[in-house]
Amino acid sequence: MHRINVIIIGLFVSITGSFAQIKPEILQPGKISNNGVFGYTLSPDGQEAFWVHSNGGRDTLQLMHARKVNGDWQKAGFATFSGNYKWKDIDPMFSPDGNKILFQSTRPVPGQVDREGFDIWAVDRTKTGWGEPYHLGEGINTDESESFASITSSGNIYFMKRSGEQNNSDIWMSKPVDGKYQTPENIGTPINTLFRESNPFIAADESFIIYFSSDTTGFGQVDLYISFREDGKWTSPVNLGENINTSDAEFCPAYHASEKRLYFSRIVRGGPRNIENIFSVSFDPSEYRKR
């Protein structure tokens, strides 16, 4: 039987004889997704995961951790470097080799006693687990909040911080030089606009970036978009479509190259606590590349 490729909302969906549309599914209901979580990251080997425990708000933010043993996810607990209610930790992200995790925290910064916002921190894998978190320095961090950082194989870090007269957020990039991160550069148009852009997941080779934007031409409050790096420039962003984006807010994207799956979070606002869960969907970035 011949395979028929159909384009739906910019997405190629493979079907065999009958229509089929891949829908995102809630990730591990009860074990991971419990209406108060977001920001999932999975190790390259698929055996370890971190995410944010939010309880549907922003007053409680700690990192959770779970391992897979013999194919089954074990009971989750606080990450060894998180769980202190004196400060907030968010947005964990594995490095491409799985040996480092970036996250953001309001924990005390050495030499910056008055700082209250989120800064970018890292923690390295050791022979016995995960080491002690360390601050990535004043080159990349400022008195403003930095959040949702992801890292390439070369060590470049893409992240969000506020910018512009309207205090909207943009995506920025910082390069390491002699082990120290340098003053960030705004990655510019066509990705950054007068709307809010944030939550950048950068491919290991910097060939594409997935992020959210509040662009009012989207389907909801904020939608997920993808842009490709071609000839040293970013292509015009493509909305991931209403199969993934809804009238609510989708955020915290993370693509797992081995699984070819996109993990992301969705928040439904309203009531005393928001409802936010983690979703996953089969995903091939190249299918969004304009031809």
For 64-100, what is each residue's pLDDT tens digit?
999 999 999 999 999 999 988 899 999 999 999 999 9
The domains found in the chain, sorted by start residue, are 24-288 (2.120.10.30)
Binned at pLDDT 50, 70 and 90, residue 9 comes out as very low
Q: Which residues, other chains included, contact 13 with Cβ-Cβ below 8 Å and sequence gap of 6+? A: 5, 6, 7, 20, 21, 22
* Chain position carrying tokens 């797992």: 256
The DSSP 8-state label assigned to residue 244 in this structure reads: T
78 bridge partner residues: 64
For the entire predicted model, the pTM comes to: 0.90
Question: What is the C-alpha to C-alpha distance for residues 33 and 56, in angstroms, rounded to an integer?
Answer: 11
For 90-149, what is each residue's pLDDT tens digit?
999 999 999 999 999 999 998 888 888 999 999 999 999 999 999 999 999 999 899 999
- 11 contacts 24 by C-beta, under 8 angstroms: no
Question: What is the C-alpha to C-alpha distance for residues 174 and 187, in angstroms, rounded to an integer?
Answer: 10
Terminal CA-CA length for the chain: 26
Backbone angles phi, psi at 92, to 5 degrees: -70, 145
